[in-house]
Amino acid sequence: MKNFVIIGNSAAGISAAEAIRQKDKKSKITIISEEDYHSYCRCLISYFLAGEIPEEKLVFRPEDFYKENNLNLILNKKVVKVEPKKNIIKFEDKTSLGYDMLLIATGASSKFPPDLKGLKKKGVFGLRTIRDAKEILNLVPSSSSSCILGGGLVSLKAAYGLLKRGQELKIIVKSKFVLSQMLDEKGAGLFMKKFQEAGVEIMTARDIVEILGNGDLKAVRLDSGKVIACSILVVGKGVNPNTDLIKDTQLNLDKGILVDQYMKSSIPNIFAAGDVAQTFDLVYKNSVVNALWPNAIEQGRISGLNMIGENLKYDGSMTMNSIGFFDLPAISMGITRPKNPELEELVLFDEKRNICKKFVLDKNHLVGMIAIGDISNCGVFLRLIKEGTDITSIKNELVSETFSYAKVLDLVKHKDEVFIL
Ligand SMILES: Cc1cc2nc3c(=O)[nH]c(=O)nc-3n(C[C@H](O)[C@H](O)[C@H](O)COP(=O)(O)OP(=O)(O)OC[C@H]3O[C@@H](n4cnc5c(N)ncnc54)[C@H](O)[C@@H]3O)c2cc1C
C-alpha cells in the first residue's frame, strides 16, 4: 500500500487518480485543490459566462466520484511548498502532508503583463476559474462596456461570452490579427469578420499601456494615447504554469516542470502532468508546455500508471485547438504558420463560403493543418501528423474538391485511434 498525493483536481490530477485506482484499489490517494469547487471542465467556463451552459453542466466528475473511488479530496487548501528531501508538502495554513509518490498537476494561471500600470483594479480579470467567471458576471449588470486585452483563444471566448451578456465590446490585440497562435492571417480574418459583424470592434497592432480608475476600473489607455471607457477588462495574454510551490527544490524547471518520457520529474517519486509540465512536442521536436485539456488528460493517465510502477512512455504533446464562434468552426494542429521556407503550404481558401483548408508539409510529411468552415475528417489528419506518415500519394488531392477521405484513412496505421470529428 502506498500513499499517493496529487496536487490538482482537474484534467491531469483526476485522470491520474482514475488510472491509479483502476489497478490499485487499496492505496491511499489524496487529491488537493486550492479552489473550493468540485471538478469542472475549465474549457467550458466561457460558455457559462455567456449564459449558454448552467453551472451544474460544467461538472467534470460527479460529487460522489471521490467517495465511490475511495479518494480523499481536500478542497480550498493551497500548497505552498514541496519538500522532496522530507517527502512532504506544506500548505498555506502551515499544516503539512506526507507522501510516498507525488503528482504535481497544478495547471496554470492567467498571465498579466507585469509592466502594465494600474492592474490591481476592481473590474480587471483573467478568465481561468469558475470564480473568475462568477466575479465577471457580478459586474455585468452595472457595466455596459467591456474590453478584452489579447486575441487568443481564451480572449475570444471571453469576448463571445460578454457579447452574449449585452456588453459593448472592444478587443485590443498586439498582433495584426486575432488567434495568431492558431491560425494564419487569412483564416483569422474569417473570424474577425464574424466578430465585427456582431458589433465588436477589434483594434489590431495596439496595446493597453495603463488601466485607469480610482479603485474601480474606469477606462484603459492605449499605446496610441486613445482612452476607452469600460468597467470590465479581461486580460487574455496566455498563462503561467503554477510552479511556485517547487521553488528552492532540485526539481528541474524551465517554463514548466521538466519531465522525462515517463512524466517523471528529476526526482524519482515526483511526477508532473498537464499545464504545469513541459513535455516533448511531436511536431516542433522540442520541449514545451502545450497547455491543452486532452494533453493534460493523457499525461495524467500516463503519470498515474507509472506512479504505480508501470513503464509507459508518453509519445509527446502537440499544439491542437478547436473553436467555434457564430456557427463557424475551426480546428488547427501543429505548425500553421511556417517560418522555415523549406516547408510546403497547400491552401484552399473560399472567403464567400467561409472555407479554409491549409496543410503544412515537411518533405511530404504532414506537420500541421488548419480547417475552417468544414472540419470533417480532421481526426485522420491528426493521426497522420502523429504517425509521421509519408503522404506523397494523396498530396495532390488534399485541397481539391474531389478529395477522397477513404484514401487518406488508408494511410493511417492506428485506425482505432482516429478521433471522428
Ligand atoms: C476559458 C478557457 C478555455 C479553454 N478552452 C480550451 C479548449 O477549448 N481546448 C483545450 O484543449 N483546452 C482549453 N483550455 C485549457 C484547459 O482548460 C487546460 O489545458 C486544462 O484545464 C489543464 O488541466 P490541468 O489539470 O493541467 O490544470 P488546471 O485545469 O489548471 O487545474 C489545476 C488544478 O490545480 C489546483 N492548484 C493549482 N495550484 C495549486 C496549489 N498551489 N495548491 C493546491 N491546488 C492547486 C487548481 O485548483 C486545480 O484544481 C481552456 C482554458 C480556459 C481557462
Q: What is the 3-state secondary structure (H, E, C) of the chain?
A: CCEEEEECCCHHHHHHHHHHHHHCCCCEEEEECCCCCCCECHHHHHHHHHCCCCHHHHECCCCHHHHHCCEEEECCCCEEEEECCCCEEEECCCCEEECCEEEECCCEEECCCCCCECCCCECEECCCCHHHHHHHHHHHHHCCEEEEECCCHHHHHHHHHHHHCCCEEEEECCCCCCCCCCCCHHHHHHHHHHHHHCCCEEECCCCEEEEECCCECCEEEECCCCEEECCEEEECCCEEECCHHHCCCCCCECCCEECCCCCECCCCCEEECHHHEEEEECCCCCEECCCCHHHHHHHHHHHHHHHCCCCCCCCCECCEEEEEECCEEEEEEECCCCCCCCCEEEEEEECCCCEEEEEEEECCEEEEEEEECCCCCHHHHHHHHHHCCECHHHHHHCCCCCCCHHHHHHCCCCHHHCCCC
If asked whether residues 20 and 58 sit together in one domain, one would say: yes
Number of Cβ within 10 Å of residue 145's Cβ equals 15
Along the chain (421 residues), what's the average pLDDT of each consecutive run of 10 residues? 97 98 97 96 97 96 95 98 98 98 98 95 98 98 97 97 97 97 95 97 98 97 98 97 96 98 98 98 94 96 98 94 94 95 95 95 95 89 87 85 71 64 44
Ligand 1 touching residue 129 (CB < 6 A): no
Number of Cβ within 10 Å of residue 342's Cβ equals 8
User: Is-contact 16 307, C-beta < 8 A?
Assistant: yes
If asked whether residues 252 and 159 sit together in one domain, one would say: no
If asked whether residues 87 and 32 sit together in one domain, one would say: yes
- Residue type at position 33: S
User: Could you say which of 258, 274, 307 is where a domain stops?
Assistant: 307
Specify the number of domains making up the chain.
3
What nine digits make up the cell of 308?
Answer: 504505480
What nine digits make up the cell of 307?
Answer: 506512479
Q: Which atom of ligand 1 is nearest to the CA of 39?
A: 49
Q: What is the dihedral of CA 271, 39, 71, 22, to 10 degrees?
A: -70
User: Could you say which of 177, 208, 235 is where a domain stops?
Assistant: 235
Pocket test residue of 14, 293, 421 for ligand 1, highest count of atoms within 8 A of CB: 293
If asked whether residues 200 and 104 sit together in one domain, one would say: no
What nine digits make up the cell of 201?
Answer: 470592434
If asked whether residues 385 and 413 sit together in one domain, one would say: yes
User: Could you say which of 220, 235, 250 is where a domain stops?
Assistant: 235
pLDDT at position 421:
44
- From ligand 1's centre to the CA of 331, what distance in Å? 20
In a domain, 321, yes or no: no
Residue span of the structural domain in which 53 resides: 3-109+239-307
If asked whether residues 138 and 103 sit together in one domain, one would say: no
If asked whether residues 223 and 164 sit together in one domain, one would say: yes
User: At residue 180, what are phi and psi to the nearest 5 degrees?
Assistant: -70, -20
Query: Residue for cell digits 514548466?
Result: 256
If asked whether residues 130 and 231 sit together in one domain, one would say: yes
In a domain, 19, yes or no: yes
The residue nearest atom 5 of ligand 1, judged by CA position, is 43
Angle between helices 11-23 and 293-307 (to 10 degrees): 30
- As a whole number of angstroms, the distance between CA 327 and CA 335 comes to 25
What is the phi-psi region of residue 363: left when phi exceeds 0, alpha when psi lies from -120 to 50, beta otherwise? left
Strand partners, 90: 81, 96
CA distances from 353 to 191, 350, 356, 372 (A): 13, 6, 9, 10
In a domain, 119, yes or no: no
Number of Cβ within 10 Å of residue 188's Cβ equals 25
Pocket test residue of 33, 81, 303 for ligand 1, highest count of atoms within 8 A of CB: 33
User: Is-contact 346 361, C-beta < 8 A?
Assistant: yes
- From ligand 1's centre to the CA of 262, what distance in Å? 21
Pocket test residue of 6, 9, 10 for ligand 1, highest count of atoms within 8 A of CB: 10
Ligand 1 touching residue 111 (CB < 6 A): no
Q: Which atom of ligand 1 is nearest to the CA of 42?
A: 17
In a domain, 352, yes or no: yes
If asked whether residues 132 and 193 sit together in one domain, one would say: yes
Strands 219-222 and 88-91: unpaired
If asked whether residues 187 and 220 sit together in one domain, one would say: yes
Nearest to 335 by CA among 299, 290, 366, 379: 366
In a domain, 317, yes or no: no
| Domain CATH code at residue 279 | 3.50.50.60
Q: Which atom of ligand 1 is nearest to the CA of 274?
A: 26
The residue nearest atom 37 of ligand 1, judged by CA position, is 106
If asked whether residues 303 and 369 sit together in one domain, one would say: no
If asked whether residues 161 and 209 sit together in one domain, one would say: yes
Ligand 1 touching residue 277 (CB < 6 A): no
Pocket test residue of 6, 92, 156, 275 for ligand 1, highest count of atoms within 8 A of CB: 275
| Domain CATH code at residue 386 | 3.30.390.30
The residue nearest atom 20 of ligand 1, judged by CA position, is 293
pLDDT at position 176:
96
Ligand 1 touching residue 79 (CB < 6 A): yes
In a domain, 315, yes or no: no
The residue nearest atom 2 of ligand 1, judged by CA position, is 43
Nearest to 210 by CA among 153, 172, 168: 172
Q: Which atom of ligand 1 is nearest to the CA of 12?
A: 25
In a domain, 26, yes or no: yes
- As a whole number of angstroms, the distance between CA 79 and CA 354 comes to 47
The residue nearest atom 30 of ligand 1, judged by CA position, is 107
The residue nearest atom 33 of ligand 1, judged by CA position, is 8
In a domain, 117, yes or no: no
End-to-end CA distance of the chain: 41
The residue nearest atom 14 of ligand 1, judged by CA position, is 43
pLDDT at position 412:
75
- From ligand 1's centre to the CA of 274, what distance in Å? 8
